Amino acid sequence: MTDKSFLKMLIIFSMITGAIISIITLIPPIMWLAFTILMFFTGPFVLIYLKKLNLIKTINTQAGLIIGSISGACSFIGFSIIFFPVAFILQLIFKIQAYIWVKVVFFNIGFLIPMIILTALISALLNAFSGFLISYCYEYLKTKK
């Protein structure tokens, strides 16, 4: 669990997941659904994917909390790196009303950076909880067998 290569892989995979979700979030009709998936379900997705690749031997609740929180924060940072510049450019070119708030936020960098950090911490908290639930279900199903 504390292996540096595992941690590096977890961070990179989480940031790629956030970047993919940011591209999906650029579609206005499903914007809020994709954002909800980002805030709640990237931690469990990463946890299940790592278990499927056998990079995690056993899933316990502590590992679920740690992996969920790290992947939640990193995925939101990866999301922000792609979403904010692309949404800003789309708003400037096409005047899409769904991204009018991005134009206001993007011009105020002093507000954008703390907002990204705070939302990444909230995403870490929510994904830690959902990662905990997934790991608890894994433990429960393991004891049932």
CA atoms of 55 and 45, how far apart (whole Å): 14
Q: What is the pLDDT of residue 97?
A: 74
> Mind listing the pLDDT tens digit for each residue in 39-69?
999 999 999 999 999 888 888 899 999 999 9
User: Tokens 């450019």 sit at which residue?
Assistant: 89
Query: What's the rounded Cα separation, in Å, for the pair 130 and 68?
Result: 7
User: Which whole number is the average pLDDT over 85-113?
Assistant: 83
Q: Is 140 left (phi over 0), alpha (psi -120 to 50) or beta?
A: alpha
Please state, in angstroms and rounded to a whole number, the distance separating the CA atoms of residues 68 and 132.
7
7 and 63 Cβ atoms separated by less than 8 Å: no
Mean pLDDT of 3-25: 93
Residue appearing with tokens 């009709």: 29
Give residue 2's pLDDT band: very low, low, confident or very high (50, 70, 90). Answer: low
Mean pLDDT score across all residues of the chain = 91
Q: How do the domains of the chain map onto residue ranges?
A: 4-140
The predicted pLDDT at position 114 comes to 93
The span from the CA of 44 to the CA of 127, in Å, is 7
Q: Is the pLDDT of residue 106 over 80?
A: no
State how far the Cα of 68 lies from the Cα of 78, in Å rounded to an integer.
Answer: 15
Distance in Å from the first CA to the final CA of the chain: 25
